[in-house]
Amino acid sequence: MWAPILLTVLRVCQGLGAGAEFGGAATLLAEHAPPGRRGYYASFAQTGVQIGLVLGTSAFLLIQLLPEQDVLAWGWRVPFLVSFALIGVALYVRLRVAESPVFREMARTRGVVKLPIRDALARHPRNFLVGVGAHICDTAVVYTLATFSVAYATGQLGLTSQTALLGVILFGLTVIALQPFYGELSDRIGRRPLNLFSVVFVALYVFPYFLLVDTGLPWVVWLAMMVMGAFGFAPQVAVQPVFYAELFGARVRYTGFAASRELGAALAGFSPLIGAALAARLGGAPWLVAAFLIGTAVISFVAFYAARENKDIDIAAMDALRDPAKE
């Protein structure tokens, strides 16, 4: 019994750590980027997330090649143990990363605040709420594809776990390939158009997505996942690092970024559980799950619609340029 309990606790710790890491990485990239290229450079923070998804799913895909009794007895532990090797990579990176020029200048002028979360809520309440809502849809989409869709394809449609996991891998590879493209496109046309397009696509495509998955044809299932990744997920997550970095001034950027984004992730993190409960109400059919995803798209649409377009603002001067009372 302690095994699932410990896995759950470790997953919570991983989520807290990963959220903070992502906020820091994206902030560094955005503050180091040359003018007019923030979207492109910051998009690589999300590329790392998708590479993790692909590597983790690939590891379990390989484990599935073992006899079922071996997978259940010890094989499922192997990917978790192998992941310890990444600790060395993480430490190597952390020990060599320098603070951004924006932060160094802030520290030089004694502009660093002691309680950034308090300042983020006091100075940027509107943008904090925007940040929470903006992360609802993409979190629900990726959790639904990576967990619920796999369980649905294998348990309800009778597809093999290898087929379902390969679909997740193709989804991740599609997103990785398109991240720099969408990041650079956001530098040209703005963050809001891509974000709004992406959540509208999710709302329009989610029912056709499940219809395609219901065919039970492996190549159609893979195509359905790749299309969702290309147009419903990749635009949001490619723009996400720079979008959040531009919501907050330098003094509270890291904390405001990480806190608002991860609060949204926590709210949407129950998507697989909600999806399973909704599907059970219809005897396993996914149509209530599709309606739920449309609901998350509506929430994020409202957040993106309320957000300002910030692609042309000087990110180093945001604290001086803006009226905090209006944010």
pLDDT at 136: 95
pLDDT tens digits, residue range 12-60? Answer: 787 777 777 888 888 888 888 888 899 999 999 888 888 888 988 899 8
What is the Cα–Cα distance from 126 to 324, expressed in whole angstroms? 10
Give the contacts of 147 (CB within 8 A, at least 6 positions apart). Answer: 272, 275
What is the Cα–Cα distance from 13 to 83, expressed in whole angstroms? 15
Tokens of 91: 């430490």
pLDDT at 318: 66
pLDDT at 28: 84
Q: ∠ at Cα 269 (44, 185), nearest 5°?
A: 30
Asked whether 53 and 172 are in contact (CB, 8 A), the reply is: yes
What is the Cα–Cα distance from 305 to 309, expressed in whole angstroms? 10
Residue extents of the structural domains in the chain: 2-326
pLDDT tens digits, residue range 257-279? Answer: 888 888 888 888 888 889 889 99
pLDDT at 7: 82
pLDDT at 145: 84
Superfamily for 2-326? MFS general substrate transporter like domains (1.20.1250.20)
If one counts every other C-beta atom within 10 angstroms of the C-beta of residue 119, the result is 18
Closest CA to 292 of 310, 311, 278: 278
Instruction: Kindly report the pTM of this predicted structure.
Output: 0.85
Per the document, the length of the chain is 327
DSSP designation for 307:
S
Which residues, given as ranges, of the chain have pLDDT below 70? Answer: 99-117, 318-327
Ordered alpha helix ranges (H), the chain: 2-32, 38-63, 68-73, 78-82, 85-94, 101-108, 116-123, 125-134, 136-143, 149-151, 161-189, 191-213, 218-227, 234-245, 253-268, 271-281, 287-306, 318-321
pLDDT at 286: 93
DSSP 37-56: -HHHHHHHHHHHHHHHHHHH
Asked whether 212 and 223 are in contact (CB, 8 A), the reply is: yes
If one counts every other C-beta atom within 10 angstroms of the C-beta of residue 272, the result is 18
pLDDT at 321: 45
